[in-house]
Amino acid sequence: MHHRSLPPWLWPRAAYVHIPFCAHHCGYCDFAIAVGQDYLIELYLDALAVELAMLAEPQPVQTLFLGGGTPTQLSASQLERLLSTVLRWLPLDANSEFSIECNPDSLTADKIAVLADHGVNRISLGAQSFHVHLLAVLERAHHPDEIARAVERVRRRIDNVSLDLIFGIPGQTEQLWRDDLARALALEPDHLSTYGLTYEKGTPLWKRRQRGQLQPLDEDAELTLYALAIDTLEAAHFEHYEISNFARPGRRCRHNQTYWANEAYFGFGMGAARYVLGRRELNTRDLRRYIRQALSGESVTWQTEELPPEERARETLAVQLRRAEGIDRTAFRTQTGFDLDALAGAVLAQYVDQGFLADDGRNIHLTRRGQYVADAIIEHLL
């Protein structure tokens, strides 16, 4: 496979590895996870090694992201095994970014040591809130005090720390959100992600809403919280570089920028997605099936989709619009083969007129007003 000479939108410089194991199911979570099945971890690592070996030869990458689930649900020795296997097949280039997602309550000093020793240089910590009753609504297992302790432990070995926060939680007021942002900033993170709470069909949270057991925040209230996040974090000198993401200068998440550029990426593990040579594939979300198929040498791919060029260009337009820098017309034509204005000029011009997009002739991006309704705009453009 001598694809390294291909452009990054065809051949990956990024890889994602999924670790599905969790101690318990958080109420809002819709990811491919496995709860109470830690006895399958060793078999899962066997299966993952087989899937990675399908690469046939090591593929160097510039960003590597281990997500979940809760990767740190693994023991220190299991993490050791996971990281050795992953790095054998996905060796990191110089100046690479190697991220792992963690829960504050599963991060022990010995696990951090294993991560740091294997080159992990960025930790993404699921804080979500610093208020006990809001964490309870989300059915999160950690206590707010554990967040600061986890950050302190991580920083002894790994200096790049990102925190996730959720807004729009039932019962969350402006004051509570302002307090969450202040407490997050007090930990001096390098990066912050602020996600509006979504009720994914079938999740425990969705079921509670259906039964009328909780009162969702209305759209205006949620918008107020989002605006407050932007104002607070920009005042603290964070760059609002993507709809939900803020970074100190030089600390943007390079791995996620691959997705927002609509560039290629590898994906391994149960439920993982990949985008290679213009083809999107999704692995099975069934843990036992993933293990069984991988170990018997079968493909673990569940869905495959190859978009025609125009659809691919539209998709590129939609994801690139999430970024603060928006879409560069010249780069867009190089990547997609399409002229941006021929593809969507009329719709884009309409949004410019309405003040949702700004266009300087070379580059087009969301205005502050546009960021507030980005999902609707992006859906329309798709």
Instruction: For residue 94, list its beta bridge partners.
Output: none
Q: What is the pLDDT of residue 4?
A: 79
Helices 287-295 and 41-53 sit at what angle, rounded to 10 degrees? 50
pTM for the model stands at 0.96
Helices 76-89 and 41-53 sit at what angle, rounded to 10 degrees? 10
Measured CA to CA, the distance from residue 65 to residue 121 in angstroms comes to 11
**pLDDT, tens digit only, all 382 positions of the chain:** 568 789 999 999 999 999 999 998 898 998 989 999 999 999 999 999 999 999 999 999 999 999 999 999 999 999 999 999 999 999 999 999 999 999 999 899 999 999 999 999 999 999 999 999 999 999 998 999 999 999 999 999 999 999 999 999 999 999 999 999 999 999 999 999 999 999 999 888 999 999 998 888 999 999 999 999 999 999 999 999 999 999 999 999 999 999 999 999 999 999 999 999 999 999 999 999 999 999 999 999 999 999 999 999 999 999 999 999 999 999 999 999 999 999 999 999 999 999 999 999 999 999 999 999 999 999 888 8
Q: What is the pLDDT of residue 2?
A: 61
Please list the alpha-helical segments (H only) found in the chain: 41-53, 76-89, 109-117, 132-138, 144-155, 174-186, 204-210, 219-235, 254-260, 287-295, 309-320, 329-336, 340-353, 368-372, 374-381
Q: Which residues contact 236 (CB under 8 A, 6 or more apart)?
A: 185
The CA radius of gyration of the chain, in Å to the nearest whole number, is 21
Q: What is the pLDDT of residue 215?
A: 85
- Residue by residue, DSSP assigns 273-296 as EEEETTEEEEE-S-HHHHHHHHHT
Q: What is the pLDDT of residue 1?
A: 52
Amino acid at 198: T
Sign of CA dihedral 247, 251, 255, 261: positive
In 3D, which of 66, 69, 72, 73 has the Cα closest to residue 29? 69
Amino acid at 60: P
Give the C-alpha distances (Å, rounded to integers) separating 148 from 130, 161, 185, 235, 237.
10, 12, 11, 22, 21
